[in-house]
Amino acid sequence: MADDIVREIRINPIVPSESVLVATARGMRPRKQEEVVKRDGREHVETCPFCKGNEDKTPATIAAFPNEANWKVRIVENLFPVLGDDKEETGINFGLQQVINGYGRHEVIIDHDNHGISVYEMSEDHLQTLFGAYRQRMAELYESDPRLKYVLVFKNFGPAAGASIPHTHSQIIAMPVVPENVINEVEYSRQYYRKHNQCVFCSLIDEALTYEATIYDRESGEVRRKVNVGQYVVEKGERFVAIKPFASRYEWEVHIMPLTHQSDFLEIKHEDLQDLARVMKRTMARLEKVIGGAQFNFFLHSVPRAEEYENCTESFHWHLEVCPRTSIPTGFELGSGLFVSTISPEDAAKQLRDVDIDS
């Protein structure tokens, strides 16, 4: 399989308007490789504003887990918010120049009190606390103001992924619009639901868990082809699964989602958090073993809490997208919107699945 050259355009099954060019020809390098970051593995850095003992160097604590004195996870206002308080004067709308006031909240979650710890090194208990912190703060923000239409939680690791402070942290941006990526997923999955009466993400999981499909010849009844369709599962827990998307935009992209249908991350239960933490830790450990030190982003896509999406609870399925940044998109990709993957997603999934993380 690894030697077979793949050259095909794959349609994203969730958002069919997006597609990916998988081109694995040897020597085919349309994308420049992104640098691996030198890891700062120090536990404590005297001058780091996010390290313990420097709490007065950040804006005031919004929330701390388990408590402010002994925090393991701490949420603070972002010092340089991209969205902020209402301005007296709203933007001027003129003709084709339409503006929405940049109202919203921008907060930083200090993921851990250990400065240089990687996600795969965090304990399952800690990751559970971290995901619990995401859930609590998202809920509070949605409740704080009905004008906030979407709360996005994401993490940047490494300068190319946008992280400006090396201390491990994630961010929350609560915004007055639903971002386009989420709208596309929500709208297309709603269309799929109307047609098939099933959630497209659930269909995708079902397909991924069906290990093999046999295609028979209609006339002779002979086996024409056996297709290995379960080749995208990277990690599976009791309640969560990590899947390598068939049409991955990034070579090592992996999506983690609940095995049973759930549209809203805010409805995640305590037992779910435990399994999510486990699947996340194991997935990140697999990525570390295969593409050690790669810069990455991850972000949560949950059903927007805005009124117009109230009827999407059956059709949308929340998920966490992990996008390692191993190469730099080129003009071809920016100009066409067609992402190029130089590794076949099947091959990448196999490498991630086969690597030994238990010894």
Closer Cβ to Zn ion, 23 or 48, answer by number:
48
Determine which residue in the list 72, 155, 239, 301 makes contact with Zn ion, applying CB under 5 A. 301
Determine which residue in the list 127, 202, 208, 323 makes contact with Zn ion, applying CB under 5 A. 202
Tell me the number of residues near Zn ion by CB under 5 A. 12
15 interacts with Zn ion by CB under 5 A: no
Interface positions, 52-111, toward Zn ion (CB under 5 A): none
Residue 321, CB-side half-sphere exposure with 13 Å CA sphere: 20
Closer Cβ to Zn ion, 199 or 322, answer by number:
199
Closest contact distance (angstroms) between CB of 145 and Zn ion is 24
Closer Cβ to Zn ion, 206 or 217, answer by number:
206
112 interacts with Zn ion by CB under 5 A: no
Closest contact distance (angstroms) between CB of 146 and Zn ion is 24
Stretch that binds Zn ion, among 119-127, 140-148, 150-158, 309-317 (CB under 5 A): 309-317
257 interacts with Zn ion by CB under 5 A: no
Closer Cβ to Zn ion, 150 or 201, answer by number:
201
Closest contact distance (angstroms) between CB of 31 and Zn ion is 22
Stretch that binds Zn ion, among 62-70, 77-85, 134-142, 300-308 (CB under 5 A): 300-308
169 interacts with Zn ion by CB under 5 A: no
Annotate the chain with three-state secondary structure: CCCCCCEEEEECCCCCCCEEEEECCCCCCCCEECCCCCCCCCCCCCCCCCCCCCHHHCCCEEEEECCCCCCCEEEEECCCCCCECCCCCCCCCECCECCCCCECEEEEEECCCCCCCCHHHCCHHHHHHHHHHHHHHHHHHHHHCCCCCEEEEEEEECHHHCCCCCCCEEEEEEECCCCHHHHHHHHHHHHHHHHHCCCHHHHHHHHHHCCEEEEECCCCCCEEEEEECCCCEEEECCCEEEECCCCCCCCCCEEEEECCCCCCHHHCCHHHHHHHHHHHHHHHHHHHHHHCCCEEEEEEECCCCCHHHHHHCCCCCCEEEEEEECEECCHHHHHHCCEEECCCHHHHHHHHHHCCCCC
Q: How far apart are CA 198 and CA 181, in angstroms?
A: 21
* Distance separating the N- and C-terminal Cα atoms of the chain: 27
Interface positions, 268-297, toward Zn ion (CB under 5 A): none
Closer Cβ to Zn ion, 6 or 280, answer by number:
280
Stretch that binds Zn ion, among 194-202, 215-223, 333-341, 349-357 (CB under 5 A): 194-202
236 interacts with Zn ion by CB under 5 A: no
239 interacts with Zn ion by CB under 5 A: no
Closest contact distance (angstroms) between CB of 207 and Zn ion is 12
317 interacts with Zn ion by CB under 5 A: yes
115 interacts with Zn ion by CB under 5 A: yes
167 interacts with Zn ion by CB under 5 A: yes
Our measurement of the distance from residue 326's CA atom to the centroid of its chain's CA atoms, rounded to an integer in Å, reads 16
Residues at the contact surface with Zn ion, assessed by CB under 5 A: 45, 48, 50-51, 115, 167, 199, 201-202, 261, 301, 317
